[in-house]
Amino acid sequence: MTRTDDEPPEWARERARELMAAEDDADGADPDDDRTDRDDGAERVPDVPAEVVEEAERLTRLAREAIDPAAAEGYRDRRDELVTEHEYTPRLREEDDTLVLYPEEWMESGTVRLDRIEDTDRAVEVSLSGPGDADRYREVAAYNDAVVEAVAERANDVHAETAESFAAFMSNHYVRGVDDATPEMRAEFREEFFPRNGWPTDEQRAALEESLETIDRVAAELDEPER
């Protein structure tokens, strides 16, 4: 039927009102909503960067192996501070020797609240005694011990004793050969491990740089470990 007036039909006016309301909702939407949805999705699993997890594992191993209780506490404090910066809490699960990092919002008074866990994949677990690690450790430790023996044969007792400390540091804390230490690792040995856990004599302290050079020189004369 043909209409004789200029007014649109009621259904058209209703549809127009719906479209206008939809446009108003879109204009007033929070621009962060899409980001929030993405943040709550799979991309957040887990939230803590891989390099932070690796450093937390390393500091945990250092704390466990430190002879000086103060040094062990210092390593744990550094680990806790690092992980806390990413809103996680570290825990050591002793029954299976595993370092676990929990999101802070799951915790209350140091205990995980099961009712707060919305996605278990956000937790991070790192085995501290995996079977593959043991084989690699034995291989590297054997090489480092061989370097220590060679230093003892070719240099004085001061260098040999420092070589033993450096070998223990590289084997236990990084599972790397003594000749594979980075400048950062050497600095950590000089400033932290050696004075706290190496029990150095005055002669060792005075000859530290020469000892490290001797270790490098002797290691270069031996076969490299497989990498």
Does position 43 have pLDDT exceeding 50, yes or no? Answer: no
**What would the two tokens of residue 175 be?**
């599972």
Contact in structure between 177 and 150 (CB atoms under 8 Å): no
The span from the CA of 104 to the CA of 170, in Å, is 33
**What would the two tokens of residue 79 be?**
């680990």
What DSSP designation does 103 have? E
Say what the pLDDT of residue 6 is: 46
- pLDDT tens-place string over residues 191-204: 988 998 888 999 99
The span from the CA of 170 to the CA of 193, in Å, is 10
Say what the pLDDT of residue 34 is: 44
Using DSSP, state whether 164 is helix, strand or coil. helix
Contacts of residue 111, Cβ cutoff 8 Å, sequence gap at least 6: none
The domains of the chain are located at 50-129, 133-220
Say what the pLDDT of residue 190 is: 94
Using DSSP, state whether 98 is helix, strand or coil. strand
Using DSSP, state whether 124 is helix, strand or coil. strand
The span from the CA of 108 to the CA of 208, in Å, is 47
Residue with structure tokens 């609240």?
A: 113
Does position 84 have pLDDT exceeding 60, yes or no? Answer: yes
Contact in structure between 175 and 57 (CB atoms under 8 Å): no
Give strand pairing partners of 92.
99
- pLDDT tens-place string over residues 161-189: 999 999 988 888 888 899 989 999 899 99
